[in-house]
């Protein structure tokens, strides 16, 4: 049987994996969440040879608050806030994309905050902290001199940000309700669109009915094993799709076959697999690599300008609801 999986990955240096392993050990260590954040910025700054490393956490009201820093004035922690879209950090959050700038001060979105003491730093690299496709913070490093950050450094910071997302969303730093959308924390009733199975009126407790896959292990012990696991998973997925395509019920074509053919094309996209491969090279497990690429795709789709696609994506992200009916009245 021919191998359906993409070609073997390119080998990379162990530096990103070493950084991720140190962050993983720190995440599992004792101490408060803020103490761990303080240690993480020190480790990342030292590993990336950066004079500044800062972590901003998203707060209610679309604000980004400085929660930890190594290199900026400590008095600015919890006092410096930026709105989503304000400054380079706010722009990273708004676009959900990494920035790497040799001279951040000449960028049109640069916003000077005197309380941070950052006027002496020129170059900057920042990445969004993503969870389930939603930006929940920003991580950034800075240097005094002009510096062109390479792709491996951006990749390393993105990978650390994914692990960091578990700490940010864990509830120790801020109330998890602050990370909900405005509809989810508003005083007005929240409307959830579900699948109507029978006409009538139902009154009861709404229950979110979307399964959530929890990744137990984010950091890989052996990248070669994770690459092999990913290739085998892809091969099994391709085989399952091929089996469905050759089933008798789809032989005559129709919209069901058209949908499956489109899905098959996406599942065989080499660029998709390559991004997961690179995430494994940076130190993630196969499952975490898939989740990271999925979060990136979700974040991009949330920013599409086409109103039809944006509405379709909004409906996709919105969980369906079941309301156990206590009182029904037919129409």
| DSSP per-residue string spanning 55-67 | EEEEETTTEEEEE
Q: Would you say residue 58 lies in a domain?
A: yes
- Tell whether pTM > 0.75: no
Cα–Cα distance, 255 to 241 (Å, whole number): 16
Looking at the fold, whether 110 and 71 belong to one and the same domain comes out as: yes
Looking at the fold, whether 36 and 173 belong to one and the same domain comes out as: yes
Q: Domain of 59?
A: 31-179
Q: How many CA atoms lie within 13 A of 225 on its CB side?
A: 6
Distance from the first to the final alpha carbon of the chain: 57
Q: Would you say residue 104 lies in a domain?
A: yes
C-alpha torsion angle, residues 219, 225, 228, 233 (rounded to 10) = -50
- Residue that the structure tokens 């156990």 belong to: 324
Looking at the fold, whether 212 and 74 belong to one and the same domain comes out as: no
Q: Three-class SS of residue 53?
A: strand
Per-residue confidence (pLDDT) for residue 98, from 0 to 100: 93
Looking at the fold, whether 138 and 58 belong to one and the same domain comes out as: yes
Looking at the fold, whether 165 and 40 belong to one and the same domain comes out as: yes
Q: Would you say residue 134 lies in a domain?
A: yes
Render each residue's pLDDT in the chain as its tens digit; 331 residues: 334 344 444 444 456 778 888 888 888 788 888 999 999 999 999 999 999 999 999 998 889 999 999 999 999 999 999 999 999 999 999 999 999 999 998 999 898 899 999 989 999 999 999 988 889 999 999 999 999 999 889 988 998 998 888 888 888 888 888 876 655 444 456 666 667 777 777 777 766 666 666 777 888 888 899 999 999 998 998 888 888 888 877 777 778 788 888 878 888 888 888 888 888 888 888 988 888 888 887 777 766 676 666 666 555 554 433 333 433 333 3
Could you tell me what percentage of the chain is helix, strand and coil, using 3-state DSSP and rounding each to the nearest 5?
A: 45, 15, 40
Per-residue confidence (pLDDT) for residue 248, from 0 to 100: 79
Looking at the fold, whether 250 and 292 belong to one and the same domain comes out as: yes
Looking at the fold, whether 157 and 68 belong to one and the same domain comes out as: yes
Q: How many CB atoms lie within 10 A of CB 71?
A: 22
Q: Would you say residue 120 lies in a domain?
A: yes
Looking at the fold, whether 90 and 141 belong to one and the same domain comes out as: yes
**CA-angle at 125, arms to 120 and 130, nearest 5°:** 135
Looking at the fold, whether 35 and 163 belong to one and the same domain comes out as: yes
Q: Would you say residue 284 lies in a domain?
A: yes
Per-residue confidence (pLDDT) for residue 131, from 0 to 100: 86
Q: Would you say residue 22 lies in a domain?
A: no
Q: Would you say residue 21 lies in a domain?
A: no
Number of separate helices (H) and strands (E) present in the chain: 10, 8
- Both structure tokens of 14: 């162990």
Orientation of helix 151-168 relative to helix 286-301, angle to 10°? 90
Q: Answer whether 318's CB lies under 8 Å from 56's CB.
A: no
For residue 149, the domain's CATH number is 3.30.450.40
For residue 254, the domain's CATH number is 1.10.274.10
Instruction: Characterise 58 by phi-psi region: left (phi > 0), alpha (psi -120 to 50), beta (else).
Output: beta
Cα–Cα distance, 161 to 140 (Å, whole number): 10
Looking at the fold, whether 152 and 231 belong to one and the same domain comes out as: no
Q: Which of 128, 163, 179 is the C-terminal boundary of a domain?
A: 179
- Residue that the structure tokens 């260590």 belong to: 29
Per-residue confidence (pLDDT) for residue 144, from 0 to 100: 95
Overall size of the chain counted in residues: 331
Per-residue confidence (pLDDT) for residue 312, from 0 to 100: 60
Per-residue confidence (pLDDT) for residue 189, from 0 to 100: 60
- Both structure tokens of 79: 């006092």
Looking at the fold, whether 172 and 217 belong to one and the same domain comes out as: no
Per-residue confidence (pLDDT) for residue 215, from 0 to 100: 78
Q: Would you say residue 189 lies in a domain?
A: no
Instruction: Characterise 61 by phi-psi region: left (phi > 0), alpha (psi -120 to 50), beta (else).
Output: left
Count the domains in the chain: 2
Tell me the β-bridge partners of 64. 58, 82
Per-residue confidence (pLDDT) for residue 87, from 0 to 100: 94
Looking at the fold, whether 100 and 142 belong to one and the same domain comes out as: yes
Q: Answer whether 264's CB lies under 8 Å from 246's CB.
A: no
């Amino acid at each position: 049987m021919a191998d359906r999986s993409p070609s073997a990955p390119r080998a990379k240096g162990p530096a990103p994996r070493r950084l991720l392993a140190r962050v993983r050990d720190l995440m599992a260590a004792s101490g408060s969440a803020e103490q761990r954040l303080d240690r993480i910025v020190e480790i990342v700054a030292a590993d990336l040879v950066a004079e500044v490393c800062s972590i901003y956490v998203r707060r209610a009201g679309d604000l980004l608050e400085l929660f930890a820093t190594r290199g900026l004035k400590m008095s600015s922690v919890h006092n410096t806030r930026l709105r989503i879209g304000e400054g380079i950090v706010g722009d990273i959050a708004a676009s959900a994309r990494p920035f790497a700038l040799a001279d951040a001060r000449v960028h049109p979105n640069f916003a000077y905050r005197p309380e941070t003491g950052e006027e002496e730093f020129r170059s900057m690299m920042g990445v969004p902290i993503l969870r389930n496709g939603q930006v929940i913070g920003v991580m950034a490093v800075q240097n005094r001199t002009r510096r062109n950050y390479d792709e491996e450094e951006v990749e390393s910071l993105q990978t650390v940000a994914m692990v960091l997302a578990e700490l940010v969303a864990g509830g120790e730093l801020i109330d998890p309700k602050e990370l909900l959308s405005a509809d989810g924390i508003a005083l007005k009733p929240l409307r959830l669109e579900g699948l109507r199975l029978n006409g009538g009126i139902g009154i009861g407790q709404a229950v979110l009915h979307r399964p959530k896959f929890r990744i137990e292990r984010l950091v890989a012990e052996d990248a070669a094993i994770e690459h092999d696991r990913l290739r085998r998973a892809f091969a099994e997925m391709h085989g399952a799709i091929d089996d469905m395509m050759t089933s008798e019920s789809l032989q005559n074509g129709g919209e069901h076959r058209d949908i499956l053919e489109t899905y098959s094309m996406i599942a065989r996209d080499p660029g998709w697999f390559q991004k997961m491969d690179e995430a494994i090279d940076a130190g993630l497990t196969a499952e975490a690599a898939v989740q990271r690429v999925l979060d990136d795709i979700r974040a991009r789709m949330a920013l599409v300008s086409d109103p039809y696609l944006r509405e379709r994506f909004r409906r996709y992200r919105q969980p369906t609801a079941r309301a156990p009916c206590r009182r029904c009245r037919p129409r």
